[in-house]
Amino acid sequence: MAEANGNAVDITRQEELLKYHEASRERPPGEVTVLPLSQGDRGNEDKLAELILYIAGQIRDDPDGGATKINKILYFAEFRHMRMYGTPITGVPYQKLTRGPAPRRLRPVRQQLINSDSAVLERDDYLGYPVHRLIPKRPFNRSLFTDEEIDTVDRVVRLVRPLTASAASELSHEDMGWRMVVEGETIPYSSAFLVKEKDLRITDEAKATAARLLKEWEASE
């Protein structure tokens, strides 16, 4: 069990989910099976609310900075942090949706921010498309986050901010976690460690090291 900043992530549980999804490839196309969430799988929703406030503030002046973009920044940040440090930022479950991954309980968490007068939801449009823009009414609670978590989010914001919401969705569709499940399923955090074959780079140094280790293993037999 890995712990960071009060969040516990059961890596064994995530490995089990990954095995489940590997086996699920034999299901008929289009069949949706939502995995039951075990106790604790809801993650830290209070922290998610503060993270949403932070991201909303970061992209407040982005003309296309609506819910779709916030969802993608959340997802990329959580899974990047998982890949870099072994734990996600909030640990909340993300599900596969048509327009890309999103926190499974985004709407109730966002509504809680609105009900508590921490944010207001404005309906706007961008190039004729509706944009649901969350406007923070107070600063986010910085004390809940490590420096590494904030740095991870800031890096992702810089990557996603120049993109349109549609382009950000398309980028998320390239992610292995989104591709390995069917719509409505939870994306396992362990998928953060999967690499697309075209992105795999085997250097000459890595090949030489592998050859050396193989010789050492053969000599020990």
From residue 159, how far is each of 53, 65, 140 by CA, in Å?
A: 18, 13, 21
Q: Which residue's entry shows tokens 């989104």?
A: 178
For 104-113, write each residue's pLDDT tens digit. 999 999 999 9
Which of 1, 120, 106, 20 is closest to 60 using CA atoms?
Answer: 120
Mean pLDDT of 55-61: 91
Residue 43 near residue 7, CB atoms below 8 Å: yes
Three-state DSSP class for residue 101: strand
**Concatenated DSSP letters of 120-171:** EEEEEEETTEEEEEEEESS---GGGS-HHHHHHHHHHHHHHTTS-HHHHHHH
Residue type, 20: Y
At 189-210, the pLDDT tens digits run 988 888 665 555 656 776 676 6
Residue 163 clears pLDDT 80, i.e. is over it: yes
pTM, full prediction: 0.70
Instruction: Tell me what the mean pLDDT of segment 134-149 comes to.
Output: 95
97 three-class SS: strand
Angle, helices 45-58/67-85, rounded to nearest 10 degrees: 120
Three-class DSSP category at 100:
strand
What's the pLDDT at 200? 52
Q: How far apart are CA 132 and CA 64, in angstroms?
A: 9
114-123 pLDDT tens trace:
999 999 988 8
CA angle 191, 106, 25 (to 5 degrees): 35
Residues 109, 122: Cα–Cα separation, whole Å: 16
Evaluate the CA torsion angle 163, 165, 166, 171 in order and state its sign. positive
For the chain, the domains span 2-220
Label residue 221 by pLDDT band (50, 70, 90): low
* pLDDT over 70, % of the chain: 72
